[in-house]
Structure formats: structure tokens, C-alpha cells
Amino acid sequence: MIRAILCSAVAVLCLGLTSFDADAKYTPTTQESPAQKAARLRWWSDARFGLFIHWGLYSVPAGEWNGRTGMAEWFMDETMMPLAQYERFAAQFNPTQYDPDAWVRIAKDAGMKYIVITSKHHEGFAMWDTQATDYNIAKRTPYGKGVLKPLAEAARRAGLHFGTYYSIMDWHHPSQHGAQQNHRNPTLMHPELKAQYVAEMKAELKELIEQTDTEILWFDGEWVNWWTVADGQDMVRYLRALKPDIVINNRVAYLRNDMEGMDRGTPVGDFGTPEQQIPPAGFGPDVYWESCMTLNDHWGYSRADQNWKSPQDVVRNLIDIASKGGNYLLNVGPTAQGRIPEAAVERLDATGRWMRVNGESIYATQASPFAHALPWGRATQKSGRLYLHVFDWPADGKLHVPLRNTVAHAHLLAAPDTPLKTGRDANGVVLELPAQAPDAVASVIALDVSGPVVPLPEAQ
């Protein structure tokens, strides 16, 4: 993963713009209309919550080397390890405990709707039996077979969507070398070998589509100078010819503003990818974006990293992101044996318990109608219904909502058969709540309202 992609309200163009038409159908045209794009991305946008998986040879050393700890998927670069030495980890990679159905069950039980897994990270090691290179899990490891297709099949059996991460930068490929001795990031390209490398990329990506029917291609490592916007545009045309409805992130290539050191401009892909952060405000209803975050401090497995997010952190991040119209792609790093760490499973399971009660306030919702975060929590909405996510339960039992609409009915999602009393004062709607919050992390109230949600002027 790149260290950070800074997408803020002032950098909204890095996310791309479109509009929504629920009746539009996608057709594989060169110039896709906003309505067609909205139809193509509908499943992804409705999902709101996905599992990211970083898995590769770096899981073998588990972030530890010669007394150092705290490394993970960037191990090869951070240790400045010679290529031949790093390759030996393949002989130790034998994930006999890998159970794709168990991984999918963990994701589904957490309330996630899609999975994205690394097919090839910056280390250049392929996690499927590719014909483009023998540097892959089927040919170089005792395990002797790919891991992507079984996961894709397990995901679809469970009703989840499947996507693959792919690094443009490749520390292993002979076409590339480091910017300085031993350091690989960013790679420099031998110009006479670029066409060969791009052809291999296309061959590998074609295999991913054919073998896994991947629905998302999540690119990374595009910050190298030798990869251009024209390269990204060519790649998107190639991929759309193979699979017209594929979803592609913005890191396939986008324009840059070097003066400010930030990636900005018109993206070539479909959605923006703020990393390890939640933007301070939403980008409006016509923008697609996804915050990707680690569950601890690393993307890949790092044995010493026990700095896990709490279930409250995860749930409130998800709510905050959904309230701003985005998706949450939450990462785990499995061990070299093929197990997702138990601490990660515990946190995902706790998230799932909250989602089973309150998921309707996340899935297929639109961003909050309020311009600013509410003092007690967040909000999402669907047609005719407003969801209030209450983080701070009012001590006096009265929740004030700066809303102009008339409320026809109100209830807690945790108590759907018990209506809440509503009233009005000069500051909008007033809800009378039970003395105790039903959920210490976030209690959700559904308000059925007449017409589109209209905040009071001071809340707009």
C-alpha cells in the first residue's frame, strides 16, 4: 500500500464525479454516461463494507528480521534484502491451514458484502498459478496451488462479491530496479523492457478475470514515474473490453499536482481511495470513494503488532464513512499458515453483532442530509427514512434533531416494535428516549418522514 493518499474536501477531484439514475443500465461503451456508471457501481456502493486481505511471502518473516520488528508487506524494501535471499521465503510458504470458506464466513459474519485480496503486492509474488511468470505460489511453494480462485468461489457461494488487488510496481521484475542501491521504492524502469512488462501485466490481469471473474481491480503502486496517465487509460480500455462491468479504483492512474505533493486531478478509475483516514466531510452524492484501513498498524501479517482497533473504533468508523457517502474497506493480514489472527476475528465478530441489528442503517444508504456532524453522532438516509446513529446518549432522555420534516414514526432498530414519542420545539424534532442506550457503541433510531429530508437552515 502507498503510505497515504490524501483525499480531502479541497482535493475532491481526485475522487471523480458522476450522478445517479436508478433505472439506467450499463452498456460497454467507450464513453460511459454518469447514469450508466451509477448502475454499474450500484452493488459496490450499496455494499458499504468490505474486507481487504494482504497476503504474500512477507507473511513468512512476519515483520521480524535480525532483531528488528514492526515490518510487514514492505519487508523486502525495508530490510534492503537481496532478491535471491527474499525468494527463499517461497520455500517456507505452505498455508495448509488456509480455509477459504472460513475466511468468507468471517467476512460475512462481520456484515461485509465484498472481499478484495492481494493477487500480487509490490514484492512481485503472484498468489495464483499464472502463466506469465514462475514466481508464483503454485510453482515456487510447497503448497503448490493458487489461493485466489477458491476464495472467489467461496465468496460467491456465500453471496459476497470478489475483487483483487494488483500492484503496478514490481520489485522482483527484471524490467525494474530501485531508485538507489537496494531500496526498491519507487522502482525505475529499463525503457527497453517496459512494453514487455506491460504485456505481462495485461496477461496476468486477463488471467485474474478469466480464473476468478474478479469484480473489482484494486490497483496500487502507481506512483512510479514510468507509469503514466496514458498507460492507465490504455489499461482501463483493455480491462473493460474483457469485462465491461468491472469496477476499477483510481490508483490505476490519475493526474498529479507535484507542487503540493498530493495526488489530484481527474481519475482514470471509478472511485477514490483515501488511506488510513476518513475525510473530514463528505464529497456530495455524486462521488464514489472508499476509505481503506488496517485493523492494527500493518497491512500484512506482523507478529509483534498487537495495536488493534477496538470494536467501537470499527463500528464508529463504518458509521462515519457511511454518513459521508463512502465505503469502508477494512484489512486483515493472514499468517503464512493461512489463518486470520484471532484478535482480528474477535473484532470482526463484534462488528457483525452490531451489524445484524443495525445493518439497514448502513447498506444502500445515502450520506447524511446534515452539512455538519451532529453533536451526538451521525446520520444516514434512505427514501422516506432517516437513521440517527447516537454515540452520546442524552442524559435527560431528549434527543434534538435539527429537522424540518414531520416524523410519522420513530423507533430504535434494537426495539422495532416500540415506537418512540416525538415532539417539536424551535430547534426541530425532539425524541423521547429510554433512560439507557441499548448499545454503548452506537444506538440507531429510524425516523419515517414525509418527503425528502430537509434539515433546518442552521444544519444545512
pLDDT in tens, 362-403: 999 999 999 988 999 999 999 999 999 999 999 999 999 999
Asked if residue 296 and residue 187 are part of one domain, the reply reads: yes
C-alpha grid cell for residue 194?
517496459
Asked if residue 393 and residue 354 are part of one domain, the reply reads: no
Mean pLDDT, range 120-144, rounded to an integer: 98
Q: How confident is the model at residue 263 (pLDDT cuts 50, 70, 90)?
A: very low
Q: Are 369 and 378 in contact (CB under 8 A)?
A: no
* Rounded Cα gap, residues 179 and 182, in angstroms: 8
C-alpha grid cell for residue 278?
476518513
**What separation in angstroms does the CA of 23 have from each of 20, 37, 42?**
9, 12, 11
Degrees, nearest 5: CA angle 18-267-219? 115
> What CATH number does the domain containing 415 carry?
2.60.40.1180
Asked if residue 330 and residue 391 are part of one domain, the reply reads: no
Number of H helices, E strands in the chain: 11, 19
* Rounded Cα gap, residues 289 and 271, in angstroms: 5
* Rounded Cα gap, residues 420 and 415, in angstroms: 10
Q: How confident is the model at residue 314 (pLDDT cuts 50, 70, 90)?
A: very high
CA 59 from centroid of its chain's CA atoms: 21
Asked if residue 418 and residue 353 are part of one domain, the reply reads: no
Asked if residue 409 and residue 308 are part of one domain, the reply reads: no
Least confident of 82-91, 285-294, 324-333, 385-394: 285-294
- Residues 201-245: tens digit of each pLDDT: 999 999 999 999 999 999 999 999 999 999 999 999 999 999 999
- Residues 300-311: tens digit of each pLDDT: 999 999 999 999
Which of 337, 361, 385 terminates a domain? The answer is 361
Asked if residue 83 and residue 172 are part of one domain, the reply reads: yes
Mean pLDDT, range 52-72, rounded to an integer: 98
Domain assignment present for 16: yes
Residue numbers of the domain that contains 438? 377-459
pTM of the model: 0.92
Q: Is 357 exposed, middle or buried (0-12, 13-18, 19+ CB in 10 A)?
A: middle
Taking phi first (over 0 means left), then psi (-120 to 50 degrees means alpha), and beta for anything else, what does residue 409 get? beta
Asked if residue 170 and residue 220 are part of one domain, the reply reads: yes
Q: In this structure, what DSSP letter does residue 280 have?
A: S
Total number of domains constituting the chain: 2
Domain assignment present for 109: yes
